[in-house]
Amino acid sequence: MTGGLLAQATPALQALTAYDPGHDLPALRRRFGGGGAIGGLIELGSNENAWGPSPRVLSALANAAATEVWRYPDPLATDLRGRLAEAHGVNADQLVLGNGSHELLMQLAQIFCAPGDEVLVSRYAFAVYPIAAKAVGASVVVADAWPAQHLMSRGHDLEAMLAKLSPRTRLICLANPNNPTGTWVSTAALAAFLERIPKSIPVVVDEAYMEFADAPGLTSALGLRRSFQNLIVTRTFSKAYGLAGLRIGYAIAAADVIVLVNRLRESFNVNALALLAATAALADDEHLQRGVTQVRAERERVAAILRGRGLHVGPSQGNFLLIDFADEAAPIETALLQQGVVVRPMLAYGLPQCLRVTLPSRAENDRFLQALTL
């Protein structure tokens, strides 16, 4: 930074490492050809929805392009907020929209944490949680996860998290299902965990992948909200709804928490086209369920094939698998990339032997499986 201004930045930001979104995909698309066509680049690194958004979304965007882009969006997202509130059985004042759930996670850390406070996470938790904590000068306390050999391989050990509570704990973040491991905790286990958390500590349950879940005993934490006023649930349209490029997510919490988020967020934080697209996507449940059904089927099929090859594949309730190669995975990732298959390395998560692989169409999954054998 010029003029010595770096030294004037807050110590927390000087020490912060930015989120790494992965490979330079535009450059790779130019090299291999784009868009996921067989023979072109296969993008399995960002857990996007390979089936794309509902046709209703595309129609809504085409019709709105000439009439909406020059207007400011509704700052309160009144229509979409009302529809989401109705869908989830909450009041509209218990819900707020964000520029992706990422924005909301950052804001929640700003609201509840200050330098010297602690944010509690599980090992192998989503990388944004530590970034959100460190950005405001809070410390990140990491509880050990289950070992790789456990049924919930590398998943949240809730007892270990409880043991890490301290008088300085100001925020707890956990994803269910978890990214990048795909593991989960049952709704009953989560409720028992919340019972033992002081009511003064907000608990964020990130449900970015909940639409893909079908495990017995796993349902949305939204069913627990009446019993736990400190519960905050975040959701996104980026994954199952196929709107990652438009950046829209939401949080559901007690109304007084939503008031605080509204004080902090930008007035027009969700753009007009994103609002229209999310509204159209929400109305097309048939498209959503069709994509979810295909992901679940491919999740089982691909995992079985990989396990048949002797690889350790952790249990997953997301639209991805975590594959453990037992040795350094970087050469495997490089070999896949040379064949136009992009996956996500896990070195940043302390898992250099693992790769995370998104589950798109059967044809693309077959190409990945073929590339992995070459």
Give residue 320's pLDDT. Answer: 98
Contact 79, 279 (CB under 8 A): yes
Lowest mean pLDDT among 144-153, 244-253, 293-302: 144-153
The residue assigned the tokens 């453990």 is 324
Give residue 21's pLDDT. Answer: 79
Give residue 36's pLDDT. Answer: 47
Contact 212, 317 (CB under 8 A): yes
The percent of residues above 90 in pLDDT, for the chain, comes to 84
- Is 296 or 14 the better-scoring residue by pLDDT? 296
Cα–Cα distance for residue pair 107/52, rounded to 1 Å? 28
Q: Which of 94, 109, 113 is nearest to 252 (CA)?
A: 94
CATH 3.40.640.10 positions along the chain are 55-283
CATH 3.90.1150.10 positions along the chain are 23-47+286-373
CATH of domain 55-283: 3.40.640.10
pLDDT at 14 over 90: no
pLDDT at 176 over 90: yes
Angle, alpha carbons 159-344-203 (nearest 5°): 30
Q: What separation in angstroms does the CA of 227 have from each of 124, 217, 223, 230?
A: 28, 18, 9, 9
Residues pairing with 277 in the sheet? none
Mean pLDDT of the 227-235 span: 98
Q: Which of 129, 135, 130 is nearest to 115 (CA)?
A: 135
Please classify residue 51 by burial: count the beta carbons closer than 10 Å to its beta carbon, then call 0-12 exposed, 13-18 middle and 19+ buried.
middle
Cα–Cα distance for residue pair 79/322, rounded to 1 Å? 38
DSSP for 24-53, please give it. Answer: -HHHHHHHH-STT-BTB-EE-SS---TT-S
Please report, for the chain, how many H helices and E strands are present, in that order.
Answer: 13, 13
Residue 7: how many other CB atoms lie within 10 Å: 8
Structure tokens at 258: 């939503």
pLDDT digits (tens, 9 = 90+) for 192-217: 999 999 999 999 999 999 999 999 99
Mean pLDDT of the 14-22 span: 83
pLDDT digits (tens, 9 = 90+) for 248-293: 999 999 999 999 999 999 999 999 999 999 999 999 999 999 999 9
pLDDT at 33 over 70: no
Residue 72: how many other CB atoms lie within 10 Å: 10
Assign a CATH topology to domain 23-47+286-373.
Aspartate Aminotransferase, domain 1 (3.90.1150)
Lowest mean pLDDT among 94-98, 215-219, 252-256, 337-341: 337-341
Cα torsion 340, 343, 346, 348 to 10°: value is: 70
pLDDT digits (tens, 9 = 90+) for 58-92: 999 998 877 888 899 999 999 999 999 999 999 99
Provide the pLDDT confidence category of residue 37 given band limits of 50, 70 and 90. very low
